[in-house]
């Protein structure tokens, strides 16, 4: 079950039990008799559940990174905090916008419901805004027929997922790019086999073109299309915890990493 839906049902159930006791059961209870355990728990948990639900639905939501598609920015096991009000508030469960908020910018890191299966959340970087024309030629990205410059940072030692600390390390190229005032790093494999051509493709209205920072290992808009505005969950702000499951250790250097990247 979707966590937000489960939390909502818990709020409703505990609230109804507490309200029912206030309106009906309490009057029939003998003087000095205690309320039932069920009512006691409902009365205790309802305010807490309601506060957690409101914070998660309208303000902030935690999200765990499930794949390496955002390497080197984000690693598997990173926990990020998602801002759910900056781009406009949406009603929980039905996702209907109720406020507009700030506009989405190119370079933002977005959590969204995967268009092919809205029950699954994805995280990628916004590359194309509505009306932009996106094209990829090998390892070069073009937006509106203009090359997006990238500066070579050095070599990034890429370790495929699931191989542990002793797994094979593949040297890749790490670059810095800038979009919409946001500076960030990407990695690309310096082999013709890893490169691909895409587009030109014009982003439809109310939609966004997404790509992972691990450009050659990302299931993104190049393969399944754009993200409709209604699928937005929120803007990823920073890493608040990072756990390396393969080595059973905390990645202290990741904790506190800001994802805004505004220069």
- The pLDDT profile of the chain, 263 residues, written as one tens digit per residue, is 588 899 999 999 999 999 998 888 777 777 767 788 999 999 999 999 999 999 999 999 999 998 889 999 999 999 999 999 999 999 998 889 999 899 999 999 999 999 999 999 999 999 999 999 999 998 899 999 999 999 999 999 887 665 555 667 888 899 999 998 899 999 987 666 566 789 899 999 999 999 999 998 899 999 999 999 999 999 999 999 999 888 889 999 999 999 976 65
Q: How many domains in the chain?
A: 2
* Same domain, yes or no: 129 and 242: yes
* Same domain, yes or no: 79 and 130: yes
Q: Domain containing 228: what range?
A: 61-250
What is the model's pLDDT at position 247? 82
* Same domain, yes or no: 183 and 236: yes
* DSSP code per residue over the chain: --HHHHHHHHHHHHHHHHHHIIIIIHHHSPTTPPPPHHHHHHHHHHHHHHHHHHHHHHTEEEEE--SSTTTTT--TTEEEEEESSTT--B-TTT--B----SPP-TT-EEEEE-TT-TTSEEEEEEEE-TT-EEEEETTEEEETTEE--EEEEEEEEE--TTS-TTSPPEEEEEEEEEETTEEEEEEE-SSGGG---EEEEEPPTTEEEEE-SBTTS--SHHHH-PEEGGGEEEEEEEEEEEEETTTTEE-TTTTT-BS--B-
What is the model's pLDDT at position 257? 93
* Same domain, yes or no: 18 and 148: no
Catalytic residues: 69, 124
In a domain, 194, yes or no: yes
* Same domain, yes or no: 25 and 152: no
* Same domain, yes or no: 174 and 96: yes
What is the model's pLDDT at position 13? 96
In a domain, 45, yes or no: yes
* Same domain, yes or no: 95 and 31: no
């Amino acid at each position: 079950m979707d966590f937000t839906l489960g939390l909502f049902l818990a709020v409703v159930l505990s609230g109804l039990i507490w309200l029912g006791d206030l309106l009906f059961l309490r009057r029939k209870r003998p003087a000095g008799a205690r309320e039932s355990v069920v009512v006691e728990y409902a009365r205790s948990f309802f305010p807490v559940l309601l506060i957690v639900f409101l914070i998660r639905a309208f303000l902030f939501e935690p999200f765990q990174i499930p794949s390496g598609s955002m390497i080197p920015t984000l690693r598997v096991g990173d926990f990020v905090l998602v801002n759910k009000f900056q781009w406009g508030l949406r009603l929980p469960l039905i996702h209907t916008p109720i406020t507009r908020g700030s506009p989405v910018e190119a370079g933002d890191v977005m959590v969204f419901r995967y268009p092919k299966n809205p029950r699954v959340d994805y995280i990628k970087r916004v590359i194309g805004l509505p009306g932009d024309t996106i094209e990829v030629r090998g390892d070069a990205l073009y937006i509106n027929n203009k090359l997006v410059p990238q500066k070579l940072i050095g070599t990034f030692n890429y370790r495929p997922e699931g191989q542990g600390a002793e797994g094979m390390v593949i040297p890749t190229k790490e670059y810095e790019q800038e979009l919409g005032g946001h500076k960030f790093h990407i990695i690309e494999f310096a082999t013709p086999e890893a490169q691909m051509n895409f587009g030109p493709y014009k982003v439809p209205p109310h939609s966004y073109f997404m790509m992972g920072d691990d450009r050659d290992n990302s299931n993104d808009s190049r393969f399944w299309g754009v993200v409709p505005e209604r699928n937005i969950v929120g803007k990823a702000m920073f890493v608040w915890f990072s756990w390396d499951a393969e080595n059973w250790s905390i990645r202290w250097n990741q904790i506190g990493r800001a994802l805004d990247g505004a220069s």
